[in-house]
Amino acid sequence: MKYSHKLSDAIHILTYVSISDSIDNDLSSRAIAGSIESNPSLVRRLMANLSKANLLKSSQGKVNIKLGRSAKEISILDVYKAIEEPDLLHVDPDTNVKCIVGANIQKTLNSAYNKIQKQAESEMDKISIYDIMNDILESNKR
């Protein structure tokens, strides 16, 4: 199974920008990509999505990136909605309708997956970029 790291990388970008005020980080896409161990073009694409969602503000032509609002006001759910597909889990649309399981699995799984989605979103909404930033700064002190 292939996993997406877009959410993790987007949170990384926002946290990097948030922490940069206190440690004077280079905010270029190259520097951020170096922290993520990715490439600058991926960082720029993610930053574009974050900017469209008003989670980041930047100026063209110069490195001047800021959070779109306070780190306390940006939840992981906000980032998720800006970056990922709307649903965490997906039901296989191709099943054998002549089979009792195949004919009914989609409806049953959709109901279960909707419950999981709501619970996951509720938990993501409780964690902010500020929380992530503070955890990182505390870990760095140890």
pLDDT band at 53 (very low <50, low <70, confident <90, very high): very high
pLDDT, mean of residues 56-77: 87
pTM of the model: 0.86
Are 75 and 50 in contact by the 8 Å Cβ rule? The answer is no
Determine the number of helices (DSSP H) and then strands (DSSP E) in the chain: 6, 2
Dihedrals φ, ψ of 57, to 5°?
-125, 135
* pLDDT given at position 61: 64
Domain ranges of the chain: 6-87+127-141
How many other CB atoms are there within 10 angstroms of residue 124's CB atom? 17
* pLDDT given at position 2: 67
pLDDT band at 26 (very low <50, low <70, confident <90, very high): confident
The topology (CATH level 3) of 6-87+127-141 is: Arc Repressor Mutant, subunit A (1.10.10)
